[in-house]
Structure 1
């Protein structure tokens, strides 16, 4: 009788530990965003397994909380440089990590755009406080190339851009007041960095 009770208690302890381990693992994966590295300031610490509550995670910045604009920075020899600047217009912090999508548009719809990601600066996890800003560097050309016309605009003139924040699907709209983008709408873009 004593031997059976010892074995039963041992199995009960093993089953209990396995179940608790499963709950701890599930809680940990639910509270850690998959796109944010553990070293980021936006990562949260999982709550103890028996507390029943998880520490709140900082959500990603999306088009509902970000406001954007393109600011010119330099020009010369047919090249144009600027920054795509986003501001957290929300009331709580949000995270941003990576590259933005960027599609030129006008009243008729999409305008040719060939977005090329540049490695400098590369992706880095950022936490934007309310009112905080991040920028992505832009570079484009205004000299026709290939079969583009030399008399008149090289491409249709855009009036805005649809910019999709990293890891999101809904764009925010930003004005574009810099004329046509030549070379088939080629724009180089960097990852976001703190600004």
Structure 2
């Protein structure tokens, strides 16, 4: 018997990190019984088409800190600016989805917070990224090494972070990663984009 199935796409919402939620789509599909699989109705009975509602296919769950490995990579420098990427890789056994912005807190060697002022940028903005096992997503980072305000100019403007804690979208448990990209001036201001397929 021939079947037509409509799959819905589920976009995973970002609540912990403040991204707009997106709803799952469901669609309906009219299917007529095949003459090969069902006898013809009696001549006195009207012939009607069967209405079949296709349920949304189970989507991958959110990527959590338990299945993600995180790292930061330097991607460029110039005129006091620094650029990098926060890269997360799915180390789980099945697919998972990231959608939106990561949280990020710089830390010293003892795990204490180093000034961090995370600012979201809209290029690219939030969109669901499904990560198969072993695949990665990235978020762009930008910061300055030029002292601002009352920051010192004869030594590092801020304490240099040793590690960082990054929280996946819609989650509360952080991933731990090595920073190693130098001090972040302007009070620890870091611009971050939403995740996109790496």
Short-chain TM bin: 0.7 to 0.9
Deviation at 1:34, TM superposition (A): 6.4
Alpha-carbon distance in 2 for matches of 1:149, 1:143: 10
Q: Is the 8 A contact 1:37 1:125 kept in 2?
A: no
Aligned to 2:99: 97
- Among 76, 79, 84, the alignment partner of 1:77 is 79
**RMSD of the alignment, in Å?**
2.1
Alpha-carbon distance in 2 for matches of 1:186, 1:111: 11
- Among 59, 64, 69, the alignment partner of 1:67 is 69
Aligned to 1:132: 135
Aligned to 2:19: none
Aligned to 1:29: none
Aligned to 1:162: 165
**Do residues 38 (structure 1) and 40 (structure 2) align?**
no
Deviation at 1:57, TM superposition (A): 3.9
Alpha-carbon distance in 1 for matches of 2:89, 2:172: 18
Alpha-carbon distance in 1 for matches of 2:177, 2:196: 19
Deviation at 1:55, TM superposition (A): 5.9
* Cα distance change, pair 103–59 in 1 and its aligned pair in 2 (3 A): same
Q: Is the 8 A contact 1:144 1:150 kept in 2?
A: yes
Deviations 1:118-155 (A, max 9, x none): 00000001110000110000000001110000111101
TM-score under structure 2 length normalisation: 0.72
SS at match of 2:187: helix
Higher helix share: 1
